[in-house]
């Protein structure tokens, strides 16, 4: 495979899913990275669980939070950040991720849209509160944490099943895809909404489209020009020449 030249594309969009984080040694919880791609969603990740048993929801996420405090970016995450570093001025690489592990930011990627939020952050659960989400490595609680500004409960800064994506994330993804000339989906089949729409948008913009995943799309997704089958942490460094 001929590596991509950092000067060849002006606006690259990478959509990442659970497959890029496997090599980071994350335990294969449904929930870290892959939650929203799974058919069977865990009971605790639903909005209803937050409403009926918020402490139970916090504690259900505790082992994942704990694991996230120890994992490091994979060779795939690092390759994306290193490639971005090598791009000439005026060229951009945007990462849109379905993962909640925060590993693209940890690797050094500068333009990251976390579609489903970040499990390493918490925020005030009140819509009316102006306090910002914050880095939070607390794992479990005996009593529910509350917001120092307004007194409402604090919650993990992630999108639970049954909730909408944040307006900022949706808008950010749309803006990133505008005029994109190379689209790479990595570690995801890209078949689940809203990701499925991203490759179509990229194609509509005239971008070259590449899938990097363990398995081929089935049925074949005609929106991808190329499919590279294998592990993200091996194929991405090769593809990006870093
Ligand atoms: Zn608040």
- What CATH number has the domain bearing residue 200? 3.40.50.1220
Q: What is the pLDDT of residue 144?
A: 93
Is there a domain that residue 110 lies in?
A: yes
What are the backbone angles phi and psi of residue 161, rounded to the nearest 5°?
Answer: -60, 130
Residue 147, token pair as written in the block = 């917001």
Helices (H), 121-166: none
State pLDDT tens for residues 97-134. 988 999 999 999 999 999 989 999 999 999 999 999 99
C-alpha 229 – ligand 1 centre gap (Å): 45
State pLDDT tens for residues 42-94. 666 778 888 898 998 888 888 888 888 889 999 999 999 999 999 999 999 99
- Residues lying with their CB under 5 A of ligand 1, a single-atom ion: 124, 126, 129, 131, 147, 149-150, 152
Q: Which of 77, 94, 116, 171 is catalytic?
A: 116
Domain that holds residue 29: 11-45+71-123+164-240
- Spatial neighbors of 15 by CB under 8 A, at least 6 apart, are 96, 97, 98, 183, 184, 185, 186, 188, 190, 195, 198, 199
**Catalytic residue flag (residue 171):** no
Name the pTM for this structure: 0.91
Is there a domain that residue 156 lies in?
A: no
Q: What is the C-alpha to C-alpha distance for residues 114 and 100, in angstroms, rounded to an integer? A: 7
Is there a domain that residue 59 lies in?
A: no
C-alpha 139 – ligand 1 centre gap (Å): 20
Q: How many domains is the chain partitioned into structurally?
A: 1
Is there a domain that residue 1 lies in?
A: no
């Amino acid at each position: 495979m001929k590596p991509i030249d950092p000067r060849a594309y002006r606006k690259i969009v990478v959509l990442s899913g659970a497959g890029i984080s496997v090599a980071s040694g994350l335990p294969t919880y449904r929930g870290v990275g892959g939650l929203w791609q799974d058919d069977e969603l865990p009971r605790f990740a639903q909005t209803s669980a937050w409403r009926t048993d918020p402490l139970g929801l916090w504690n259900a996420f505790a082992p994942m939070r704990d694991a996230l405090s120890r994992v490091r970016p994979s060779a795939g995450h690092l390759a994306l950040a290193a490639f971005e570093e090598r791009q000439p001025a005026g060229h951009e690489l945007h990462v849109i991720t379905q993962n909640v592990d925060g590993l693209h930011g940890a690797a050094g990627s500068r333009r990251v849209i976390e579609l489903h939020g970040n499990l390493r952050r918490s925020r005030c659960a009140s819509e009316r509160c102006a306090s910002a989400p914050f880095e939070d490595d607390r794992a479990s609680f005996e009593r529910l944490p509350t917001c120092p500004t307004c007194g409402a409960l604090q919650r993990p800064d992630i999108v639970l099943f049954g909730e909408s994506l944040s307006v900022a994330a949706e808008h950010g993804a749309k803006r990133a895809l505008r005029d994109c000339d190379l689209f790479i989906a990595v570690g995801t089949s890209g078949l689940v909404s809203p990701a499925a729409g991203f490759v179509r948008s990229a194609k509509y913009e005239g971008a070259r489209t590449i899938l990097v995943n363990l398995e081929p799309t089935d049925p074949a997704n005609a929106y991808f020009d190329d499919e590279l089958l294998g592990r993200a942490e091996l194929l991405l460094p090769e593809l990006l020449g870093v």
